[in-house]
Amino acid sequence: MEPILKTDKHLRLGIWGLGRGAAFIKAANDLNIDIVAGCDTNPIMREQFRKTCPDAFITADDTEFLAYKDMDAVLVATYFPCHAEHSIRALEAGFHVMCEVTSFTSPGEGVRLLEAVEKSGKVYNLLENYPFTKENMYLEKLWKEGFFGEFQYGEFNYLHNCRMFSYKYCLPPDFPPIEPGYTVHSWRSWFNFHYYNTHSLGPMMKITGLRPERVTAPPTGVSLPGFIPESENAKVAVALIQMSNGGIMRNLIGNSTSDNHTDKRIWGTKAAAESLGHGLHIRLGSTGFGPNVHVEPQWPFLGDFADQAGHGGGDFWELYYFAREVLENIPAPWNIYEACDVTLAGIMAVRSQEANGMPMEIPDFRNKDVREQFRNDFRGMTRSFDPQKIFPEGHDTAITSRFNFLMINIETLAMDLRTALDGAVIYEQIPNPADRLTILETLKKARRQVPVLTQYMEEANAIVARYPGCLAAEALKSMMSLADTNGRDPAELLDEKLDWALTVKCK
Ligand SMILES: NC(=O)c1ccc[n+]([C@@H]2O[C@H](COP(=O)([O-])OP(=O)(O)OC[C@H]3O[C@@H](n4cnc5c(N)ncnc54)[C@H](O)[C@@H]3O)[C@@H](O)[C@H]2O)c1
């Protein structure tokens, strides 16, 4: 096949962290990138990787991985709080680095990483993919042409209910429970979502070319059920960010009952763009009541490859840009300075939240005096519990190993039960026959699932009775509250709702 890049040179890549890291294999195969090595401490991830890359050097030991010499670059996709340390080790071992979000978790780590990149002379790219969807790439092009004028106001969302990823691995298709089953995920079970701000602030920065300068983030108090109690991750995180031209964006991220990764409003002084679930609309005429026109952006080029990649094509483009920078010396988006801007905005949002919403300056690490102020500031992510210790000391692992399995399955079954019962509440107001059918089907499905839900709830209640008050017991109770039927027998209730729904006439 013709190479996509204008060179025959190849880049030999090692992937460090084979969960998310393995998602790039397809795009790498399309490009001049040969996957030559993979490293993960988890045997499940190594086995999955071996199936797709049987000829690669595969190891559980990261020192051995970094000593592998037939490699030019490393893709870091290890635990979220370890990215800075792992990127620095890879740079010091002589490799170019692509790093998954986020770059670092404290300002001091950021200074160390930035200086390691500068000293190495190697390429460093943050793998922030959301700016590279069809819509966002098109908006960036129009913005650069001056179509929108000056940025005035924007809203971006990255709302993603990741509750299940506290209890199971994120990326293998069959999502096995976290092992051992009486522990929860190392960072997803507790982290503050402000640190994961890049998928929404990132597009804003790339479209407008502006840098975030100031942030204010109020504390948000209400948690979703089913998380480990006290987990910051159970909440939404909202920040107002002032950009370098004085315009403001609202960044809304976190866990909620309304997932949304793509909604946006981005208003300029000459035109406004909005994408709110019905495609991209552009309001023309430099006035709030001008025509609001639906547009369907196309890829600038290489669309056939981008269409096959994850995250709306973004997973292809970020690899493409990185390979192009290393092999053809064309600068890629998300160099270390831009990576610092987006990452520090999240860190400062957490600090603003801790200070009751007080505005915080977002340091610009291009300025060496500013760097000095933060060189020794290693205050980073703090957690209110230990993911390895959610049961009391000396617990019986034969019983408690079932924790993750039960959490995952009760969540799934409770979700169907809620959909069925809550769907029945609003059934008469649903005009669309297909939506009504969905509710009817879910009523039947939930009814069939009652025996197994009951069995899992009994098992969960036995664990709660054995270890009352511990974090795991509180999380189980909280997850089970999703299947609450106000004391009614669920089977009886579902039969009743199903019989009733079948008599309701469509208007
Ligand atoms: N850009 C995106 O769209 C996107 C999507 C998913 C995940 N991510 C990011 O990718 C990263 C990885 O995501 P994930 O879902 O695979 O997370 P994860 O935390 O579940 O997985 C990290 C993997 O790295 C391995 N690992 C950790 N430390 C290691 C070490 N020292 N040596 C070898 N292996 C090690 C773990 O065993 C695990 O398989 C996360 O930081 C996440 O933020 C980004």
The model's pLDDT over 279-334, given as tens digits with 9 standing for 90+, comes to: 999 999 999 999 999 999 999 999 999 999 999 999 999 999 999 999 999 999 99
Give the list of residues 6+ apart from residue 281 with CB closer than 8 angstroms, or none.
Answer: 273, 274, 275, 292, 293, 294, 295
Cis geometry, peptide bond prior to residue 300 (ω within 30 degrees of 0): no
Per residue in 140-161, pLDDT (tens digit) is 999 999 999 999 999 999 999 9
Give the list of residues 6+ apart from residue 139 with CB closer than 8 angstroms, or none.
Answer: 207, 266, 273, 280, 297
Atom of ligand 1 nearest to the CA of 79: 19
Q: Where are the alpha helices (DSSP H) in 74-152?
A: 83-92, 107-120, 134-144
Task: Indicate whether 349 pLDDT > 70.
Answer: yes
pLDDT for position 507: 62
pLDDT for position 171: 76
Per residue in 49-75, pLDDT (tens digit) is 999 999 999 999 999 999 999 999 999
Distance 78 CA to ligand 1 centre (A): 4
Q: Which of 16, 20, 318 to mutate to test the pocket of ligand 1 (most atoms within 8 A of CB)?
A: 20
pLDDT for position 351: 98
Q: Rounded to whole angstroms, how far apart are CA atoms 385 and 231?
A: 8
Phi, psi of 409 (to 5 degrees): -75, -35
Per residue in 444-487, pLDDT (tens digit) is 999 999 999 999 999 999 999 999 999 999 999 999 999 999 99
Q: Is 310 in the pocket of ligand 1 (CB under 6 A)?
A: no
Atom of ligand 1 nearest to the CA of 39: 33
Per residue in 382-413, pLDDT (tens digit) is 999 999 999 999 999 999 999 999 999 999 99
pLDDT for position 221: 86
Distance 101 CA to ligand 1 centre (A): 10
Query: Is residue 171 within 8 Å of 266, Cβ to Cβ?
Result: no
Task: Indicate whether 3 pLDDT > 90.
Answer: no
The three-point CA angle 94-95-100 to 5° equals 140
Distance 274 CA to ligand 1 centre (A): 32
Q: Encoding tokens for residue 201?
A: 């602030």
Q: Is 129 in the pocket of ligand 1 (CB under 6 A)?
A: yes
pLDDT for position 506: 65
Superfamily name and number for 131-300+334-363: Dihydrodipicolinate Reductase; domain 2 (3.30.360.10)
Output the residue whose Cα is nearest ligand 1's atom 18. 79
Distance 46 CA to ligand 1 centre (A): 13
Q: Encoding tokens for residue 503?
A: 């008599």
Q: Encoding tokens for residue 209?
A: 């070319």
Distance 277 CA to ligand 1 centre (A): 30
Task: Indicate whether 172 pLDDT > 80.
Answer: no
pLDDT for position 398: 98
The SS3 call for residue 496 is helix
Per residue in 332-342, pLDDT (tens digit) is 999 999 999 99
Find, among 433, 474, 335, 322, the residue nearest to 5 by Cα.
Answer: 322
Domain ranges of the chain: 131-300+334-363, 397-503
Output the residue whose Cα is nearest ligand 1's atom 6. 20
Task: Indicate whether 190 pLDDT > 80.
Answer: yes
Residue holding tokens 């009504």?
436
Output the residue whose Cα is nearest ligand 1's atom 7. 20
Query: Is residue 320 within 8 Å of 187, Cβ to Cβ?
Result: no
pLDDT for position 38: 98
Q: Rounded to whole angstroms, how far apart are CA atoms 74 and 94?
A: 10
Q: Encoding tokens for residue 486?
A: 């106000």
How many percent of the chain have pLDDT more than 90? 95
The SS3 call for residue 236 is strand
H or E segment and range at residue 320: helix 314-328
Length of the chain: 507
Q: What is the pTM of this model?
A: 0.96
Q: Rounded to whole angstroms, how far apart are CA atoms 492 and 499?
A: 11
Q: Encoding tokens for residue 172?
A: 């293998």
pLDDT for position 174: 76
Q: DSSP letter at 222?
A: P
The three-point CA angle 480-395-190 to 5° equals 55
pLDDT for position 43: 94
Q: Rounded to whole angstroms, how far apart are CA atoms 69 and 66?
A: 8
Q: Sign of the CA dihedral 475, 481, 487, 491?
A: negative
- How do beta strands 264-268 and 272-275 pair? antiparallel
Q: Which of 100, 233, 322 to mutate to test the pocket of ligand 1 (most atoms within 8 A of CB)?
A: 100
Output the residue whose Cα is nearest ligand 1's atom 34. 40
Distance 80 CA to ligand 1 centre (A): 6
Q: DSSP letter at 7?
A: -
DSSP percent split of the chain into helix, strand, coil, nearest 5: 45, 15, 40
Per residue in 213-253, pLDDT (tens digit) is 999 999 998 999 999 998 999 999 999 999 999 999 999 99
Atom of ligand 1 nearest to the CA of 169: 20
